[in-house]
Chain A
Amino acid sequence: MEHASFIFGSWGITAVSVGAYAIWVLRRGRELAKHATREEMPWT
């Protein structure tokens, strides 16, 4: 594939940045939920 480094690079940057944010959001939620009461988590 021509320009493979740019194409895979752009896909890689997207995957890493969005993936890192998603993991951060999940970990942040889990960390906060450890100290939360049931009343503070109406979705449970």
Chain B
Amino acid sequence: MAGQSGTGTSATRRLGILVILMLATLALCGLWFSAEDVVQGSTVRIMYIHVPSIWTAYIAFGLTALCSGVYLSGKNRSLSWDRVAGAAGEIGVLFVAVSLVTGSMWGRLTWGTYWVWDARLTSTAFLFITYVGYLAVRQLGGTHRQRARRSSVLALLAILEIPLVHFSVTLWRSLHQEASVANPNAKVELDGLMLFSLFLGLVAFTMLFVWLVLHRQRAMMLEDAFSDRGLDVAITARRNEAGA
């Protein structure tokens, strides 16, 4: 047996420490040092986690689709692609949930309500439900290859929702604001530390995502290995029974 080193390596440990330091800096800048917004006031501080959360979810679901596409393309049928897709999908669901919760708290302060059936909010909730479904499909029975094939197809369909969510604010009349900082046509002047906090949040959450994917896909590799081992034991037992 390999011992108790777990799914970590020296590289993931270094990355983990870096992520913790970056998140601590983000908390200090986002909650204390950065200025309040002239329009939103102190509620802008929720944006430093809300925006990076949905950004991370987009990256996660993008990676899920990319790995699923590579697996289905047939050029490389390694189950590692499927496991990375599954790990990214799981983490993406977590970050969409965080985005929905933090967004509704911001909405309560800004719009006076936690929830409205607005195009952006509704499409994001639909995205969340779709990927919960993706995770449920991964848990259905069958071989690892069957799991990989069916979940890859679903991932390639589900990714089509991302542009729908992102452009929902321009496609339909929406209460949710349009892109501001990333929009070159929007004349938004942002204080240096506010911009730094937002950018730091995006980088820190992306690195946190990488760290989580590395650990989770390794744990999934072990789950698959144990599942195979259990199957081998069962087949051997049946052969022994048949031979007896």
Contacts and interface: CB of A to CB of B under 8 A. Distances in A.
Chains A and B belong together in one complex: yes
Interface of A: 1-4, 6-11, 13-14, 17-18, 21-22, 25-26, 28-30, 32-38, 40-41, 43-44
A-side binding surface: helix, strand, loop or mixed? Answer: helix
Given A30-B6, A40-B2, A41-B222, A22 B102 contact: no
Contacts of B222: 29, 32-33, 36, 40-41
Interface string B202-234: 000000100110011011011101100000000
B27 interface: yes
Contacts of A1: 42
12 contacts: A3-B42, A6-B43, A6-B46, A6-B106, A10-B102, A13-B105, A14-B102, A25-B212, A33-B4, A36-B225, A38-B2, A40-B225
Interface string B63-104: 000000000000000000000000000010011011001100
B7 interface: yes
Contact of B1 (A6, A26, A37): A37
Interface of B: 1-9, 27, 30-31, 41-43, 45-46, 49-50, 53, 91, 94-95, 97-98, 101-102, 105-106, 108-109, 208, 211-212, 215-216, 218-219, 221-223, 225-226
